[in-house]
Structure 1
Amino acid sequence: MLGKNSRLYNSILNVGTTAMATLFTMLLSVVVRAFLNRNLGTNYVGLTGILTSVITSLSITDLGIDSVFIYLLYKPMADRNTDEIGKLMVLFKRVYMWIGTFFLLLGVICVPFLKYLVGAQAMRIPNIYLIFFLYLLNTGISYFFAAYRVILNADQKYYIIARITFLTTFVTNFLQIIGLLLIKSFVLYVILLLLSTIATNLIIGSVSIKRYGLRKLPRERINNIKFENDETIPTLIHNIIGGISNKLGVIFVNSSDNIMLANFETLRIVGMYSNYLMITNGVSSLLSKMIASVTASVGNLGSEGNEGKNLTTFVKLTTIINFLVIMAVIPMSLFFGTFINIWVGGKNILPVVPTILITLNCLLAVIRYPALTFIDAFGLQWIQRWKSIVESAVNVGVALILLIVFKMGLNGVLLGTLCSNLLVVNWYEPFLVLREVCGRRYRQYLAEVIPAFALFIGAVLFSLGVLMSGVIGISLWRSLVVIVISEVILLTIVYFVFRNSLGMELITSIFGRFFKRRTV
């Protein structure tokens, strides 16, 4: 039976709800972006990408500690130790308050240097400083409510966050479309985004307070609180230091691209690239949130200390993600041009080479998720504290050389990200998980992933060949026919390659339980 409080049940509920909410949110965002592009132009699309990157860079102040807090909550949540949970929440709320305040102050300090962050073209857009402040508040205000998200996540109730976020986003997107049609004001567009963030956080905070009785939190000063586990504060400090390193890597890899392009390319190129990123980010966000929604279950599993079970779960997650990525590579790469043409017009279509590089970077980012999930769930941030510094150095260093010396523009930036993924993160993170929590069982892991990598390479080469041949063009029906035929062939190959894998066994088991449950 699939009990309502079981780890598997909570994981399935989190994954299912998150997947549906993220999918519909992504579709709404695509519609809103189309209205933004058609009513205000590509420059404003580029501006959203640049400002999002700048604000993400400033958010280094959160130190990546949300996963650390969730990790600290696993045991008291499993033991239903309300006293310890209350003490931890006091700590979390105070730390997040400091972080939010520092983040906002850092944003204000950056105002005189804004032109160096967003580029000369962006500075010519009306009300640029007001728009920057609105984006700053939109991110900063979430820190003051972050503790309420943490406790829901640690309790395997991520689906509550997903539902609330979807509802507020739906209303906001509807109002943004009306505003773009009637008023055509980018300032109004961002104000609605800010109001949505406020509403989302207030509702999540209210739900958490009511669900966990957080109105009765102890009022002691943090330095007077005595935690049951003497390692709570040392663990927090160590993982915050590791989190700083991880955050630096995320910033330089995910946020530096648009900032570098803003200074070496036109705002229009940034806008075109942002359209492609919106699609890949939508796909990767969907898979990321599905995996993140089971992090609490993995952390709960970790408390058992069973290395064999840890390995089995890690391999299952890896196989499932590899399967999904393989099936997404061909349709995403082949359908880019057709979709962009229908969505924002043919003049926004990028050439074949950057299209393939964007697809590859998305693929390499997504296949990291199982390892990142285990790193968060087992509190391994401190151990990998140097990894992200090396990652960011490789990414920015290679990109700048290709931009300045070889004048490669967008391709140079994309190759910088590709090199940092291949040379640093995509091998090290699984190695760390296998070494620390899976008993160093490398051979079994490699037996599962090597066939997947071979299929990755084959799928990418096939997509490149089709795009270079011009057989698709921007025809919707040609694209669909080629994609369907390709997916049928690929699905057949994937089935025979993965039919005996642990991931396929898990999928079969889940479907079997659901069908059995419905027939009882």
Structure 2
Amino acid sequence: MSTRAVILKNISANLLLQLITALGGFILPPLIVVTYGSATNGMLASVKQFIAYLTLLEAGIGAAAIVALYQALTAHDNQLRNRILAAAHHFYRISGSLFAVALVVLATLFAWLTRHEISANLTFCIVLVMGAVNILDFFFFGSYRALLTADQKTYIISSIQAVSIFANIAVCYWLIRAGYSILSVQTASTLIQAAKFLLYRRYVRHHYSGLNQHYDKHHPYHLQQTWDALTHQLTGLLIFSSPLVLISLFLSLKDASIYAVYALIFGAIKMALQSLSQGMQAIFGHSLSTNPAQTRHNFCRYNRLFMCFLGWVYTCTGLLLAPFIQLYTHNMTDANYHQPLLAILFLFVGIIENSRIPAMTIIMAAGRYKATKPQALLEAGINITCSLCFIQIWGSAGILLAALISFLYRSTEMLHYSCRHILSLSFSRPLILWLVIFITIAVAISIGWQPISNISVHNYLDWIKLSLITGLIAALPFSFLLLLIYRRPVQ
């Protein structure tokens, strides 16, 4: 299969996954707020973030295994492949056991922290039920995911996940509308998500001959940079999971619910942007060692395409967010979900954060975990320190301001490192492209804000019509810009 076909399949499958995920995100939380209250919605969102912290027990196994598997798959060395998978599977099982213990501790602590707003017994059970899927992932799928990712078959992962999420949306929607308890809903969700592991196992066993994950403790394969990859995972989860944790601890579950609604919308946008990088890590990982010149050429085109797409997406978001929030939170009356300042800060943070995706992709493809570890630690330090200070002064807005400061540093640093130390490219051209995109977004939103504000949006059909018109008009400047720069020579 050609590289272009692989990219197309990976991106298409991931876009389908993100679309279905976003659909569930937009359908279920409002229903949960209306049926069970904002406190329950805030609790569920916070539990997801706490559980995300516990997945650190993966200890960088997956990231290290993916990099190691590039060599084995390129050389068609099944024996080396099996040794790498056996080592990964062994450590996943150890991590899964530790995760199970940590999950019980988390359930106990979180039930105590939120006991004044929600029943402690209910919270305890929900944490255990929600975390059960992760335990299964550790024991049964971790090594398979590494294999499929390294072999440029993330479209298999995305397709199966899309089916399971769609089934989860349908079942949870019916259960909520039928009046079942939130615990029953979460239990059904866990069972549906667990079923996907059977499909993964069936596919891998059928398509990879001679697969053997038996761990020989006398002659084990030693995964390189495992702890360095862990550091990146740790800093990433501290940064991206800490907001709801801090809001739950320092503010309230209702504040967490408000933040979660905006985070849901911008998270869906982030997933759409990440779809353009789906499968690119494996492609760059295979080509960096065999054809560096072609890798530079492909990366520059990919970066230009990605940045223009990012500009278009966030221009549309800036213009269409306010009317969407009004429709989306129309029935959420137990908290004030109209927060213009949060919306503006989320927009700034999203633009800066997602600008790093191409650079991050090439860094991960090259396996430069150890070399970039100090910068990752510094970003986490800036983010957490500022968050703890700013949340006391500005509340949820302070969390976003802290993220903006840390992302400005890290995104610029990632671009510099990838250009200078991996691709041997000039840093100035990608940086100028960033500035041009940012300015174009600002100008486009400034021009379009007033006309769109004067248009009345009464339902989702009105909003969709407005979105189509806005999207077409907003595409013009970025399409013109892409035509100017896409085929420019690499320097």
The answer, yes or no, to whether TM exceeds 0.5 is yes
2:182 match: 186
Deviations 1:306-355 (A, max 9, x none): 1x333222222222221121111132233333223333426453321111
1:277 partner letter:
A
Q: CA deviation at 1:119?
A: 4.4
1:335 partner letter:
L
1:498 match: 482
2:243 match: 257
Partners of 1:330 and 1:290 in 2: CA distance:
18
Contact 2:415–2:427 at 8 Å: present in 1 too? no
Partners of 2:116 and 2:273 in 1: CA distance:
34
1:452 match: 437
The counterpart of 1:442, out of the listed 427, 432, 439, is: 427
Q: CA deviation at 1:131?
A: 0.7
Contact 2:60–2:227 at 8 Å: present in 1 too? no
Deviations 1:80-126 (A, max 9, x none): 2112111111111111111111222222233443257x545555465
Contact 1:360–1:418 at 8 Å: present in 2 too? yes
The counterpart of 1:427, out of the listed 403, 412, 417, is: 412
2:279 match: 293
Other structure's SS at 1:89 match: helix
1:128 match: 123
Using a 3 Å threshold, how does the CA distance of structure 1 residues 249 and 310 change in structure 2: closer, same or farther? same
* TM-score (normalised: structure 2): 0.91
1:83 partner letter:
Q
Other structure's SS at 2:484 match: coil
Q: How does 1:394-433 map to 2 (within 5 A)?
A: 394-404=382-392, 406=393, 408-422=394-408, 424-433=409-418
1:230 match: none
1:315 match: 300
Partners of 1:15 and 1:431 in 2: CA distance:
26
The answer to whether the aligner puts 1:86 opposite 2:74 as a matched pair is: no
Partners of 1:329 and 1:220 in 2: CA distance:
47
Contact 1:63–1:243 at 8 Å: present in 2 too? yes
Contact 2:40–2:118 at 8 Å: present in 1 too? no
Q: CA deviation at 1:411?
A: 0.9
Using a 3 Å threshold, how does the CA distance of structure 1 residues 182 and 35 change in structure 2: closer, same or farther? same
Partners of 2:154 and 2:474 in 1: CA distance:
33
Partners of 1:222 and 1:503 in 2: CA distance:
52
2:138 partner letter:
Y
Partners of 1:258 and 1:484 in 2: CA distance:
33
The counterpart of 1:352, out of the listed 340, 344, 360, is: 340
Partners of 1:221 and 1:370 in 2: CA distance:
38
Contact 2:307–2:355 at 8 Å: present in 1 too? yes
Using a 3 Å threshold, how does the CA distance of structure 1 residues 503 and 162 change in structure 2: closer, same or farther? farther
Contact 2:273–2:310 at 8 Å: present in 1 too? no
Contact 1:55–1:136 at 8 Å: present in 2 too? yes
Deviations 1:282-322 (A, max 9, x none): 1211222441322211111112141x333222222222221
1:314 partner letter:
F
Partners of 2:48 and 2:472 in 1: CA distance:
38
1:392 partner letter:
A
Using a 3 Å threshold, how does the CA distance of structure 1 residues 340 and 453 change in structure 2: closer, same or farther? closer
Partners of 1:480 and 1:198 in 2: CA distance:
34
2:205 partner letter:
I
Q: CA deviation at 1:430?
A: 1.2
More off after superposition, 14-23 vs 58-67 = 58-67
1:280 match: 266
Partners of 2:20 and 2:108 in 1: CA distance:
39
**How many residues matched?**
485
2:25 match: 29
What's the RMSD between the two structures over aligned residues?
2.7
Flag structure 1 segments of 5+ consecutive residues without an equivalent.
228-232, 506-520
Q: CA deviation at 1:275?
A: 1.4
Using a 3 Å threshold, how does the CA distance of structure 1 residues 99 and 394 change in structure 2: closer, same or farther? same
Q: CA deviation at 1:249?
A: 1.8
Using a 3 Å threshold, how does the CA distance of structure 1 residues 482 and 391 change in structure 2: closer, same or farther? same
The counterpart of 1:378, out of the listed 366, 369, 374, is: 366
Q: CA deviation at 1:208?
A: 0.7
Contact 1:68–1:376 at 8 Å: present in 2 too? no
Partners of 1:52 and 1:39 in 2: CA distance:
20
Partners of 1:57 and 1:220 in 2: CA distance:
28
Q: CA deviation at 1:489?
A: 4.5
